[in-house]
Structure 1
Amino acid sequence: MNWRLTGRYMVSVIIVTIITVFINLFIFMFWLVFQANSQHDEESTPETFTRSFRQYVTLSDNGITVNKEGQKALKEQNAWIQILDENGQDVYHDREPKGLKKKYTPIEIINLHKYKDEQLLSTIYAGGKKVNGKEYSYFIGFKNPSLGKYVLSYDTKEFVTKFNAGTIILLSIDALIALLIGYLFSRQLTKPLGRVIQGIQRLANGDYTIKMKSKGIYKDVFYNVNHLSKQLSSSKKEKDKLEQMREEWISHISHDIKTPLASIQGYAEIIQDPNYHLTVEQIREYAQIIESKSLYMKDVMEDLNLTTRLKNNDVMLHTERVNLVSLLRETLIDMLNDSRYADKSIELQTNVEKLMLNLDAILIRRAVTNLILNALVHNDADVKIVVQLEQKERTHVTIKDNGKGIEEEELEKVFDRYYRGTNTGTTHAGSGLGMAIAKDIIQKHGGDITIQSTAGEGTTIDIQLS
C-alpha cells in the first residue's frame, strides 16, 4: 500500500516537472524572439543608430564630412566616427580615440567590424553610403564598456540536431532529479498516510485503542481518526452495557414470567383435578389469582411492545386539546382507587383549574403513572409523593417524593431500558422498562424530562411540555 502511494506521487511529480520544463522552454524562446524584435524596433540601439547615421554623412567643398546634427548625435551617444574611401584610406574622422589607424586593409576592416577592439576600448559598428558615384564606408565606435558584440556562426542542421539531443538530455536529467526529489518527499508525505490507513483498518477490525500523535500536515486527519476511535470505543462500551442489561432483563423477565406461569398452571391443575373437591369460594379465589398473574404477564408484554415501538419511532401520537389538570387528577384518583395503592400518600398541587395542551392523553397518563409507580416501588410504604403543576415559559409537571433517593452513579442509568434500581423491593416484579417508556413518551411530545436526587432525602422528576 505504501509503495503504491509513493509510486503514484512520484509519477505525478515527474509529469508536473516535465510539463514545467516545456512551459519554461516555450516562455524562454518566446522571450528571446520578443527581445530580438523589440531591439530591431528600437531606434536607440547601436546597430540601428549606425545604419541610420548615413543621413548625416554629406559632401562639402572640403570633401566628405558629417553635418552638425550628426556631430551632436555622436556626442550624445558618446561615440566616434571614421570614414574610409574605397581604398580603405581615412578621409574623415571625429571624436576619434588614440591609436586609430589611417588606412586599413580589407581583412583589417572585417576584423574591426567583427571583433571588439581592446586597444580602442570601443565596440565598433560599420555602415556605408554612396556619394557622387563613390562608395564610402564608415566605422562608429561606442565608448560604452558595458556594450558588447559577438558574431555567431552556426550550421542550422547541426544546431537542430544538438538542440534535440540537448533537450532530451535536459529532460532526462530533470526526470532523474524529479524522481529523486519526488521519492524523498513522497516518503515524507505517504508515510503518515500509511499510518492513517493502518489505523482505519484497525478500526474496521474492531480495535478502538488507536491513539495517533496529531502533528504534521495531516494533524487534522490524525485528530479525526483519534476522535472516531474514541466515539467507536464509547459506542462499543454503550452497546456492551446495553447488551449486558438486556441479558439481565431477559433473565429477570424469564424468572418473573415463570413464577406467575407456575402459579397459573398450578391453580388450573387444582381446579381441573377431580380429586380436589373445591368450594365455590375456593374456585373464585384461585380464578382471581390466575387473573392477577395473567394481567401481570399482559402488562409485561405490553411494556415490551411499547418500548420497542417507541425505540423504532413506530408510535403515532393521537393528540387532542386536553385539560392537563383534569388528566393528572383522574390519573391520581385511578391509582388511589387501586387496592394496592389505596393507603399511599399521593397529592396533586396546582394553582389553576384549566390548562389546555395538545397531548395524547393515553400516553401522557401512561408516562405519569410509570413515574409515580417507580417512586412507590423503590421507596418505603410511608413515602409521600407530590405532583405539582406550574405554568412558566413551558408547562412543568413535577413529581417529588421524600424517599430513599438515588445514588449518583445510578442516576444516569434511571432512564435506560432494562435497568432495575438497587432499591427495588423484593416483592416487586416489573419489566424494568417503565422509566424508559416515560422518557420516550415525553420526548415524543417534544418535551424534556430531568431527574434530581439526593440519597436519603428524596427524588424530583421534572417534566417540561410545550
Structure 2
Amino acid sequence: MKWKLTARYLFSVLIIVCIVVFVNMLVLFGVLYYQQSNGNENLSSETGETFTRQFSRYMSINNGQPIISDEGIEALRTFGGWVQVLDKNGNVVADALSPEDAPTHYSPIELVHKYKYMDDQKTTYFISQFDEYSYLLGVKNSVEQRIVLMFNGPSFLSYASKAFIGMTIADLIIAILIGLLFSTIITKPVSHMINRISQLKERNFSVQKMKRQGIFKPVFSNLNAVSETLLSHEEERAKLEKMREEWVSNVSHDLKTPLASIQGFAELLREQNVTESERIDYAEVIERKSIYMKELLDDFNLTMRLRNQEMPLNREDTRLESFVRELVIDVLNDSQSNNCTISFNSNAPNLKWNIDQHLMKRAILNFIHNAITHNDRDVQINVSLTPKGITIEDNGKGISEHDIEQIFDRYYRGTNTDHIHGTGLGLAISRDIIEAHGGTVALTSEAGSGTKIEIRMNAEIDSQAN
C-alpha cells in the first residue's frame, strides 16, 4: 500500500511538472511572438530608432542644401544626441551639436561599422534618410545598446529542442527526487491511516502511536480517540450482552420455580381425596406464585423502559417533607417492619422537587425495604431530608467492597442475599427512576458498618420554595 501511494504521488508530481513546463514554453513563445509582431508599436517615442526616423521633420532643403531647424537642435539637445547630414558620396554637408573630432567623410563600410558597433566613446549610432540625403545621429553614453546576432534557423531549432528536452529531463529528475523526499512525509502517514481504518473495520480498537505524524498529527489524535471510544463501546456492548444473558437466565430461573409450584399444586387440586382446607392452601400458593411472576414481569418491563428512556414521567411540584414522611409512616405500618426502628427528620421544610410521585415513591421505598430485608430484625434506619436531598442510612450489615461496584446491576445479588426473596431488580429500578428525573444516587458502605444512600437532584429540578 505504501509503495502504491508513493507511485501515485510521484506520477501526479511528474504530470504537474510536465504541464508547468509546457505552459511556460507556451507563455515564452507567446511573449516572443507578441514582441516581434507588435514591438514597434509599443516602443516609446523617445527611443533612438524612433527619434532618428522622426527627426526628418526638423529638416528642410534651402537652395539645394539641407537645413536643420532650431526646434531640431533643441530636440537633439534634449535627447542628448548630435546629427551629421551626408550626401551621396558620404561627405558631411550639414551638422548640429556634433563633436569637434567627428569625421567629415564616411565610407560605406565606416557607416556600416558605426551603425553596428559602438565606438570608443560609447556612442550609439542611428541612420536614416531625408530626401536624397542620409543623416547619422549619435548618442553618447546611450542607455540603448545594439547587439548584432547571426541567426541560423535550423541550428536554433535544433538547439532549442535539445535545450527543451534537457530542461524537461532535469525538471523530471528534480521532481522525482522531491517526490521521493516528500513521499516519506506524506504517503507513509497516509498509508498508516488507511491501515488504522482497516484495523477499525476489523474491530481492532487498540490505540497506536506513530513517531513522525507531521501535519497529520490531529488526524492520528482523532483516530486514537475514535479507537478509545469504540473500545469503550465494545466493552459496554459486551457487558450489556453478558448482562442480557444473565437477565434471560435469571428470569427463566425465577419463572421456572413458581411455574413448577403452580403446576404441582394445580395437579394436586385435581386429586379426589384433597380436603377443603388443603385445597384452600394450594390455591393460596398458586395465587402467591402468580403474583410473584406478575411482579417479576412488571419489574422487568419497567427496568427495560427506564433503560431505553421510554417511560413517560407525570411530573408535579411536590413538597418533599410531607411526601417522605408519609412514605416512612407507610413503612412503619407494614407488618414486615415491626421489629426495626425507622426515624425521620427534616431541616428543609420548604424543599420542592418536580417529580413523578408514583415512581419516586417506589424508588425510595425500594431503598428502605432493601435496608429492612437485608439486615437483622433490630436494624435502625434513619431517613433524613436536607436542602441537598434525601438520605437513607442504616446501621446494618453493610456491603462488601466487591458488591458495591455491582450493587445497582440488574439481577445482581450480594453475598448476603442467598435466602432473600425478591426479583433482583429493586435497586436497579430505583437508580433508573432517579436518573430518569435527572438526579443521582450515591451509595457508601462498609461491611459491618451500615449503608448510606444519598439522593440528589440537579438545579433545574431541585427548587427552594419561598
Shared fold (TM-score, shorter chain, > 0.5): yes
User: Displacement of 1:357 after TM fit?
Assistant: 5.5
User: Displacement of 1:51 after TM fit?
Assistant: 2.6
- Is the Cα–Cα contact under 8 Å of residues 431 and 441 in structure 2 kept in the other structure? no
Write the distance in 2 (CA, Å) between the matches of 1:127 and 1:409: 113
Counterpart of 1:190, as a letter, is T
Q: Counterpart in 1 of 2:144?
A: 147
Q: Counterpart in 2 of 1:202?
A: 199
Q: 2:311 aligns with which of 312, 315, 322?
A: 315
- Percentage of identical aligned residues: 38
Q: Counterpart in 1 of 2:128?
A: 127
Write the distance in 2 (CA, Å) between the matches of 1:168 and 1:323: 93
Write the distance in 1 (CA, Å) between the matches of 2:345 and 2:312: 31
User: Displacement of 1:140 after TM fit?
Assistant: 1.8
Q: Counterpart in 2 of 1:191?
A: 188
| Higher mean C-alpha deviation, range 456-465 or range 58-67 | 58-67
Closer, same or farther: CA 39–321 of 1 in aligned 2, 3 Å: same
- Is the Cα–Cα contact under 8 Å of residues 401 and 459 in structure 1 kept in the other structure? yes
Closer, same or farther: CA 137–81 of 1 in aligned 2, 3 Å: closer
Q: Counterpart in 2 of 1:138?
A: 136
Q: 2:56 aligns with which of 51, 54, 57?
A: 54
- Is the Cα–Cα contact under 8 Å of residues 364 and 442 in structure 1 kept in the other structure? yes
Q: How many residues align?
A: 454
Closer, same or farther: CA 34–449 of 1 in aligned 2, 3 Å: farther
Q: Counterpart in 2 of 1:373?
A: 369
Counterpart of 2:442, as a letter, is I
Q: Counterpart in 1 of 2:413?
A: 420
Are residues 1:430 and 2:416 paired?
no
| Higher mean C-alpha deviation, range 365-374 or range 52-61 | 52-61
* Match runs of 1:445-464 below 5 Å: 445=437, 447-455=438-446, 456=449, 458-464=451-457
What do the CA deviations read for 1:104-151 (whole angstroms, capped 9, x no partner)? 3334423432x2235453322222323xxx42322323323x532235
Write the distance in 2 (CA, Å) between the matches of 1:251 and 1:135: 125
TM-align CA RMSD: 4.1
Write the distance in 2 (CA, Å) between the matches of 1:388 and 1:263: 42
Unaligned runs of 5+ in 1: none
Counterpart of 2:363, as a letter, is A
Unaligned runs of 5+ in 2: none
Are residues 1:45 and 2:47 paired?
yes
Q: Counterpart in 2 of 1:386?
A: 382
- Is the Cα–Cα contact under 8 Å of residues 335 and 342 in structure 1 kept in the other structure? no
Structure 1 length normalisation: TM-score? 0.79
- Helix, strand or coil at the partner of 2:214: coil
Write the distance in 2 (CA, Å) between the matches of 1:97 and 1:381: 137
- Is the Cα–Cα contact under 8 Å of residues 377 and 425 in structure 1 kept in the other structure? no
Are residues 1:212 and 2:209 paired?
yes
* Match runs of 1:16-55 below 5 Å: 16-21=16-21, 23-25=23-25, 28=28, 33=34, 37=39, 40-55=42-57
Counterpart of 2:216, as a letter, is Y
- Helix, strand or coil at the partner of 1:461: strand
Write the distance in 1 (CA, Å) between the matches of 2:235 and 2:268: 49
- Is the Cα–Cα contact under 8 Å of residues 56 and 66 in structure 1 kept in the other structure? yes
- Is the Cα–Cα contact under 8 Å of residues 40 and 48 in structure 1 kept in the other structure? no
- Is the Cα–Cα contact under 8 Å of residues 209 and 229 in structure 1 kept in the other structure? yes
Q: Counterpart in 1 of 2:435?
A: 443
Counterpart of 2:433, as a letter, is I
Closer, same or farther: CA 462–223 of 1 in aligned 2, 3 Å: same
* Match runs of 1:105-116 below 5 Å: 105-113=107-115, 115-116=116-117
Closer, same or farther: CA 46–335 of 1 in aligned 2, 3 Å: same
